[in-house]
């Protein structure tokens, strides 16, 4: 995804003036938990917030919404029914099957991750036409879109830019890359010949996230889960066997930084954005460095290594870190938490409070 073109949608509504509904898919997941709270804090009472997930939302999450739906994002008829009921002006499309789960059932991943995204992009495009203005579409992509063929090349590549090493080895990575391209199509080419196109398109904005660590939720189904699992296990006094080698290195970020980055990208004036898809980066420790950091706070933690071939192979294909200079330049991205602050100021205090340790 390269530079902006003349055919991109004009973002003629700001967060302050837009009164349309905000639709959040995957609202029952880890990021959904933090994002719903952040959106409700900012917009509750001013805009409809619609939560959607294949599972019924828990009461505390539903409390942040004005309506919630238990529905499968790959079910086009169900998505159409939601679209008819609400005047949607922003879609935050979080629903996905993550990397490890996706490799267990690649066909289901394809259906949910690609067809589900296609349904929501179409909802956004139809809603833009109805409203006569661009609909924002926020899409959390992932470092799984990258694929580095060997460990030697991974080390040589270092911090990859958005346009390097795009040969993913997982169905999840392939799916996310496909959706980035579908987003580019809807933003730049959909209904190109229609006279009203400039106002009636999808304002697609995406971030390729590293592994995300939350103090409030424990992840499932992802291949970066060893980072948060080490910490949550140590805090609960449980032994942990890490599923990758000590030297495995990929980037990570805290959940508050991840949610803030998406909200900042959503707020950025379209004309400042030179790309549709951005890297963001915060810290990139090896598994061994995460274990050492966890032991600083939980010295009796029992941690060992039992790498599994499948998950190690996936982590080895992901870059050691990402070059996020475009995000820093275009919308002033800067993480609040580096490695030390993430543990000292966010993860450990909240996790101690959560587990009473």
Ligand X SMILES: NC(=O)c1ccc[n+]([C@@H]2O[C@H](COP(=O)([O-])OP(=O)(O)OC[C@H]3O[C@@H](n4cnc5c(N)ncnc54)[C@H](O)[C@@H]3O)[C@@H](O)[C@H]2O)c1
- Residues assigned a catalytic role: 172
Using CB under 6 A as the binding rule, whether residue 94 contacts ligand X is answered as yes
Binding range to ligand X, per CB under 6 A, among 50-58, 117-125, 264-272, 317-325: 50-58
3-class secondary-structure state, position 26 = coil
Residues in the chain: 357
Shortest spacing between CB 140 and ligand X, in angstroms: 4
Cα-based angle 215, 54, 25 (whole degrees, multiple of 5): 65
> Any idea what DSSP says for residue 334?
-
Nearest residue to ligand X on Cβ basis? 29
Binding mask 282-321 for ligand X (x = CB under 6 A): ----------------------------------------
Residue of 22, 31, 148, 290 interacting with ligand X (CB under 6 A): 31
Distance CA 96, CA 83 (A): 20
Binding range to ligand X, per CB under 6 A, among 66-74, 126-134, 229-237, 343-351: 66-74
Using CB under 6 A as the binding rule, whether residue 95 contacts ligand X is answered as yes
- For residue 98, the number of C-alpha atoms closer than 13 Å in the C-beta half-sphere is 21
Shortest spacing between CB 32 and ligand X, in angstroms: 6
Using CB under 6 A as the binding rule, whether residue 32 contacts ligand X is answered as yes
Residue of 26, 102, 285, 335 interacting with ligand X (CB under 6 A): 26
Shortest spacing between CB 172 and ligand X, in angstroms: 7
Using CB under 6 A as the binding rule, whether residue 327 contacts ligand X is answered as no
3-class secondary-structure state, position 213 = strand
Residue 30 neighbours by CB under 8 Å, 6+ apart: 212, 214, 217, 219, 255
Nearer to ligand X, 160 or 212 (CB): 212
Segment 198-217, which members bind ligand X (CB under 6 A)? 209, 211-212
Nearer to ligand X, 133 or 170 (CB): 170
Using CB under 6 A as the binding rule, whether residue 74 contacts ligand X is answered as yes
In the chain, which ranges are continuous DSSP H helix? 30-43, 59-62, 76-85, 99-104, 106-109, 116-131, 151-157, 171-188, 226-235, 255-267, 287-297, 309-317, 325-331, 339-341, 348-355
In 189-280, which ranges are continuous DSSP H helix? 226-235, 255-267
Shortest spacing between CB 196 and ligand X, in angstroms: 31
Distance CA 174, CA 166 (A): 9
| Footprint of ligand X (CB under 6 A) | 25-26, 28-32, 53-55, 72-74, 94-98, 112, 116, 140, 142, 209, 211-212, 219, 221-222, 224
């Amino acid at each position: 995804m390269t530079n902006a073109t003349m055919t991109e949608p004009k973002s003629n509504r700001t967060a302050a003036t837009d009164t349309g509904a905000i639709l959040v898919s995957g609202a029952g997941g880890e990021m959904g938990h933090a994002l719903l709270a952040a959106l409700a804090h900012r917009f509750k009472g001013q805009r409809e917030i619609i939560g959607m997930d294949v599972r019924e939302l828990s009461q505390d999450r539903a409390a942040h919404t004005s309506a919630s739906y238990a529905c499968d994002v790959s079910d086009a008829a169900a998505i159409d029914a939601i679209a008819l009921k609400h005047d949607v002006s922003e879609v935050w499309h979080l629903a996905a099957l993550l990397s490890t789960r996706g490799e267990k059932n690649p066909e289901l991943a394809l259906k949910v991750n690609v067809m589900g995204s296609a349904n929501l992009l179409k909802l956004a495009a139809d809603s833009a036409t109805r409203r006569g203005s661009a609909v924002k579409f926020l899409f959390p992509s992932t470092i799984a879109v990258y694929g580095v063929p060997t460990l030697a090349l991974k080390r040589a590549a270092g911090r990859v830019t958005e346009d390097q090493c795009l040969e993913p080895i997982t169905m999840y990575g392939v799916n996310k890359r496909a959706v980035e391209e579908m987003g580019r199509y809807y933003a730049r080419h959909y209904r190109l010949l229609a006279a009203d196109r400039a106002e009636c398109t999808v304002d697609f904005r995406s971030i390729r996230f590293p592994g995300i660590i939350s103090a409030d939720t424990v992840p499932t189904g992802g291949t970066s889960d060893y980072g948060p699992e080490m910490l949550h296990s140590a805090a609960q006094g449980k032994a942990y066997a890490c599923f990758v080698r000590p030297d495995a290195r990929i980037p990570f970020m805290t959940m508050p930084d991840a949610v803030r980055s998406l909200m900042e990208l959503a707020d950025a004036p379209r004309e400042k954005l030179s790309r549709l898809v951005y890297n963001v980066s915060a810290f990139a420790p090896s598994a061994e460095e995460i274990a050492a950091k966890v032991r600083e706070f939980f010295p009796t933690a029992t941690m060992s290594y039992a790498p599994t071939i499948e998950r190690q192979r996936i982590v080895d294909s992901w870059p050691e870190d990402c070059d996020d200079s475009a995000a820093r330049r275009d919308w002033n991205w800067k993480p609040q938490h580096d490695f030390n602050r993430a543990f000292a100021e966010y993860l450990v205090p909240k996790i101690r409070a959560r587990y009473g340790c």
